[in-house]
Chain A
Amino acid sequence: MRVLGIETSCDETGAAVLSSGWHLESSVVESSMALHRDFGGVVPELAGRAHVETIGPTVQAALAQAGLDVRAPRLDAVAVTTGPGLVGSLLVGLAAAKAYALAWDVPLVAVNHLEGHLYAPLLESPDLAWPLLTLLVSGGHTQLVLVEAPGRFSVLGETIDDAAGEAYDKVARWLGLGYPGGPPIDRLAEGGDPSALALPVSMTGEGLDFSFSGLKSAVVRAGERHPVAAADVAAAFQGALIEQLTRKMVQALARHRVAGVALAGGVAANRALRAATAAIAAEHGIAAHLPSPAYCTDNGAMIAAAGLVHLAAGDVAGLDVGADPTWALGA
């Protein structure tokens, strides 16, 4: 089976072709990130308009790179993200996917964007062993998910306030750094002293939910009371944030037997988080799946992977399917 995956939930336009066995034939991503940088984040209206311009060329490039006839590609389905995300952005990808499905007379598969992230490790390790404990961390989401196998997963914990990536963006903005906030804080933190700033340890109980709002407030408050070098703020903030993420991962590993841990989402590109996750996996004697940055961030390949899973289960959508901007994982 061969599936075209289309992703337009936020600021990346992604298209990819994937065939059975998680064999990736092509993956093309166009980002409107530069457009949003001046605004300190994604602007929904601008993102929607950018997708309208990039969706056609991105899909054509993905088909061409896979060696398929752009007019009549040999495909078994078109998979598309229908939520969660920005409604204006989702609708562009969905409208395009419906048109392709109709024109090529193949089924349409509706994919949850977050479920797509769970399959990113398959793109580089097709033979990986399940189950996996996956930490999904991005600007809009922070979740700890137990993935038994493709198509079978449960959310163990999630943020009760700000997403981890959002905390990065807010602290970065407060420090006068650029958007997105993760990379500059990661770099700045390397030369900083995390002990220069005493920050609270959050969510100390047995539960697996996360909270980053208090950490963000504590950073700002402490910095307002007495001047702290930006590098020290970055080091202390990143240290506290990763401490919470990894502590919950370890707590989850004590309760669930898995063959590996995995990272997914934009924050999964963070070097300190990757190093900490690899160390946890080594301590537990299990595999660490740290996807390349291209597969951590939004892409069409992971949507195609989810498309293969659902197509195999006969779970296809009608051409009347709508976008669901708040579609929760597992709902």
Chain B
Amino acid sequence: MSTRRCVRPADTVAAGRALAAWLAPGDVVVLTGPLGAGKTVFATGVAAALGVRERVTSPTFTLVRPHACANDRGIATLYHADLYRVESLDEVADLALGELVEESALALIEWGERGAALWGPEHWEVRFTLDDDEVRELALVAPPGRAPVGGWAA
């Protein structure tokens, strides 16, 4: 597990950009941590690195929002999901998030721990924690065999 310390929102965006470099089509990235920890801010960094042109805002209301990507890495769609309002595993299964992640797509799932049993061992996880001074620590858990060489420290 490697970690990054984020003092300003721009640091959290940069962490998202850095992670994006390691992602491949079909990947699922689960973001966990308390309300206001910077998960959506992190998502804007991932989206920017994948060539999403439109503004990335919170997907809480619609649960899943697709974004078209422009990159040379075979990732055509970023599915930005948010399970904040979801309470049971059955409801997550109803959303069929697993089916969204095709060969040319990638899923970024906020509050993803609510569907933990559905992701399998192959997913990425970013754990957000927050101290009393509003400094965020982001811990990255990579799928087996895919830990970034040299970690993702800034």
User: Chain A interface (Cβ within 8 Å of chain B)?
Assistant: 39-45, 85-86, 139-140, 158-163, 165-166, 169-170, 173-174, 213-214, 216-218, 220-221, 325-326, 328
A40 to B84 alpha-carbon distance, docked (Å): 9
Interface string of B1-44 (1 = CB under 8 A from A): 00000000000000000000000000000000011100011000
Taking A140-B61, A161-B58 as known contacts, 19 extra A-B pairs with beta carbons closer than 8 A to each other, sorted by chain A number, are: A39-B86, A40-B85, A41-B63, A42-B61, A45-B95, A85-B62, A159-B57, A160-B55, A161-B40, A161-B57, A162-B60, A170-B35, A170-B60, A213-B36, A216-B35, A216-B36, A221-B36, A326-B65, A326-B66
A220's nearest neighbour on chain B, judged by CB, is B35
Query: Contact between B61 and A41 (Cβ–Cβ < 8 Å)?
Result: yes
Contacting residues, chain A, for B65 (C-beta < 8 A) = 326
Q: How far is the CB of A328 from chain B (nearest CB, A)?
A: 7
Contacting residues, chain A, for B72 (C-beta < 8 A) = none
Residues of B contacting A: mostly: loop
Contacting residues, chain B, for A85 (C-beta < 8 A) = 62
**Cross-chain pairs A/B with CB under 8 angstroms, 17 sampled:** A39-B86, A39-B91, A42-B61, A43-B63, A43-B94, A160-B55, A161-B41, A161-B58, A162-B40, A162-B58, A166-B58, A174-B35, A213-B41, A216-B35, A221-B134, A325-B62, A326-B66
Query: Contact between B58 and A163 (Cβ–Cβ < 8 Å)?
Result: yes
Q: Is B54 at the interface (CB under 8 A from chain A)?
A: yes
Residue pairs across A and B with CB atoms within 8 Å: the count is 73
Q: Is B99 at the interface (CB under 8 A from chain A)?
A: no
Query: Contact between B62 and A213 (Cβ–Cβ < 8 Å)?
Result: no
Query: Contact between A44 and B58 (Cβ–Cβ < 8 Å)?
Result: no
Contacting residues, chain B, for A43 (C-beta < 8 A) = 63, 91, 94
Query: Contact between B54 and A140 (Cβ–Cβ < 8 Å)?
Result: no
Contacting residues, chain B, for A160 (C-beta < 8 A) = 55, 57
Please list the 4 inter-chain residue pairs (A to B) with the smallest Cβ-Cβ separation, ordered nearest first. A217-B36, A140-B61, A41-B85, A40-B85
A218 to B37 alpha-carbon distance, docked (Å): 11
B61's nearest neighbour on chain A, judged by CB, is A140
A209's nearest neighbour on chain B, judged by CB, is B55
Q: How far is the CB of B38 from chain A (nearest CB, A)?
A: 9
CB-contacts of B82-119 with A (<8 A): 84-87, 91, 94-95
Residue B61 contacts which of A158, A161, A163 (CB distance < 8 angstroms)?
A: A163
**Interface size of B by Cβ–Cβ distance < 8 Å?**
24
Interface string of B64-85 (1 = CB under 8 A from A): 1110000000000000000011
Residue A213 contacts which of B34, B40, B64, B84 (CB distance < 8 angstroms)?
A: B40
A41's nearest neighbour on chain B, judged by CB, is B85
Contacting residues, chain B, for A39 (C-beta < 8 A) = 85-87, 91
A158 to B58 alpha-carbon distance, docked (Å): 13
Query: Contact between A217 and B95 (Cβ–Cβ < 8 Å)?
Result: no
Residue B94 contacts which of A42, A45, A159, A170 (CB distance < 8 angstroms)?
A: A45
Contacting residues, chain A, for B35 (C-beta < 8 A) = 170, 174, 216-217, 220
Q: How far is the CB of B14 from chain A (nearest CB, A)?
A: 17
Residue B63 contacts which of A44, A158, A163 (CB distance < 8 angstroms)?
A: A44
A22 to B57 alpha-carbon distance, docked (Å): 35
Query: Contact between B95 and A44 (Cβ–Cβ < 8 Å)?
Result: yes
Query: Contact between B36 and A166 (Cβ–Cβ < 8 Å)?
Result: no
Query: Contact between A170 and B84 (Cβ–Cβ < 8 Å)?
Result: yes
Contacting residues, chain A, for B91 (C-beta < 8 A) = 39, 43
A218's nearest neighbour on chain B, judged by CB, is B36
B40's nearest neighbour on chain A, judged by CB, is A161
Query: Contact between A139 and B61 (Cβ–Cβ < 8 Å)?
Result: yes
Q: How far is the CB of B1 from chain A (nearest CB, A)?
A: 25
Contacting residues, chain A, for B62 (C-beta < 8 A) = 42, 44, 85-86, 140, 325
Contacting residues, chain A, for B63 (C-beta < 8 A) = 41, 43-44
Contacting residues, chain B, for A174 (C-beta < 8 A) = 35
Contacting residues, chain A, for B54 (C-beta < 8 A) = 326, 328
B57's nearest neighbour on chain A, judged by CB, is A161
